[in-house]
Chain A
Amino acid sequence: MSHYYDIDDIIVDEELVSVVFQVTANGVGLLDPGSETNSVEQGAKIDVTFWLAQELYLREAASINLPMHFNQKTRKEVQADPECVDLRSRCPYFYELGYKIAPMVADKELGTFISLTFNGRYKEILSKSHGAAFAAVPKFLPRLTKEETNLYEAARNSMIAFKEWRLGVSRLEGASVLGRKRKPIIGEMHGPTP
Chain B
Amino acid sequence: MQIRNHFPPLHQNIRAPHLQFLNPRFCSMAGQSDPHVSLFSPAEIEFFAEDEMVDIVPNLRVEALNMICGDYGPFTPQIPAKVPLWLAVALKKRGKCAIRPPEWMSVERLTQVLEAERDSSREFQPLPFHYVEITKLLFHFAQDDIPDMYLVKSMVEDIRDVRFHKVELGLETFTNRTQAVKLKNLSAMEANIIRPFSVRALQAFYKHDIPDVASQTAATVNRPSMADRGPRRTLRPR
Q: Are B42 and A103 in contact, CB atoms less than 8 angstroms apart? A: no
Which of A17-25, A30-38, A76-84, A114-122 makes up part of the contact surface?
A114-122
* A110 sits at the interface (CB 8 A): yes
* A162 sits at the interface (CB 8 A): yes
* A187 sits at the interface (CB 8 A): no
Closest chain B residue to A1 by CB distance?
B207
Closest chain B residue to A106 by CB distance?
B218
Closest chain B residue to A163 by CB distance?
B42
Q: Are B195 and A158 in contact, CB atoms less than 8 angstroms apart? A: yes
Name A's interface SS.
helix
Closest chain A residue to B164 by CB distance?
A130
Q: Are B35 and A154 in contact, CB atoms less than 8 angstroms apart? A: yes
Q: Are A161 and B208 in contact, CB atoms less than 8 angstroms apart? A: no
Q: Which residues of the other chain, A, contact B172 by a CB distance below 8 angstroms?
A: 123, 127-128
Take A158-B195, A162-B189 as given contacts and tell me if A131 and B43 are in contact as well, using a CB distance cutoff of 8 Å. Answer: no
Q: How large is the interface on B (under 10, 10 to 19, 20 to 34, 35 or more residues)?
A: 35 or more
Q: Which residues of the other chain, A, contact B208 by a CB distance below 8 angstroms?
A: 95, 99, 114-115, 118
Q: Which residues of the other chain, B, contact A162 by a CB distance below 8 angstroms?
A: 42, 189, 192-193
* A16 sits at the interface (CB 8 A): no
* B107 sits at the interface (CB 8 A): no
Q: Which residues of the other chain, B, contact A119 by a CB distance below 8 angstroms?
A: 175-176, 205
Take A3-B32, A161-B41 as given contacts and tell me if A115 and B213 are in contact as well, using a CB distance cutoff of 8 Å. Answer: no
Which of B18-26, B142-150, B196-204 makes up part of the contact surface?
B196-204
Take A111-B213, A126-B201 as given contacts and tell me if A103 and B221 are in contact as well, using a CB distance cutoff of 8 Å. Answer: yes
* A147 sits at the interface (CB 8 A): yes
| Min CB–CB distance B208 → chain A (angstroms) | 5
Q: Which of B140, B175, B176, B220 contacts A103 (CB 8 A)?
A: B220
Which of A66-74, A136-144, A166-174, A178-186 makes up part of the contact surface?
A166-174
Q: Which residues of the other chain, A, contact B176 by a CB distance below 8 angstroms?
A: 115, 118-119
* B214 sits at the interface (CB 8 A): yes
**0/1 interface trace, chain A 51-73, chain B, CB 8 Å (1 if under):** 00010001010000000000000
Q: Which residues of the other chain, B, contact A151 by a CB distance below 8 angstroms?
A: 35, 197, 200-201, 204
Query: Interface size of A by Cβ–Cβ distance < 8 Å?
Result: 47
Question: How far apart sit A111 and B194, CA to CA, in the bound complex (Å)?
Answer: 28
Closest chain B residue to A127 by CB distance?
B172
Q: Which residues of the other chain, B, contact A44 by a CB distance below 8 angstroms?
A: none
* A10 sits at the interface (CB 8 A): no
Question: How far apart sit A110 and B224, CA to CA, in the bound complex (Å)?
Answer: 14
Offer 26 A-B interface pairs, CB within 8 angstroms, sorted by A: A5-B33, A95-B204, A95-B208, A102-B210, A103-B213, A108-B213, A111-B224, A114-B208, A118-B208, A123-B175, A127-B168, A130-B197, A147-B204, A150-B35, A150-B200, A153-B36, A154-B35, A155-B197, A157-B35, A157-B38, A158-B38, A158-B193, A161-B41, A161-B42, A166-B42, A171-B47
Residues on B lying within 8 angstroms of A by beta carbon are 9, 31-33, 35-36, 38, 41-43, 46-47, 136, 140, 164, 167-168, 171-172, 174-176, 189, 192-197, 200-201, 203-214, 216, 218-224
Q: 7 new A-B pairs (CB below 8 Å) besides A60-B219, A103-B221?
A: A111-B213, A112-B210, A130-B193, A151-B204, A157-B36, A165-B43, A172-B9
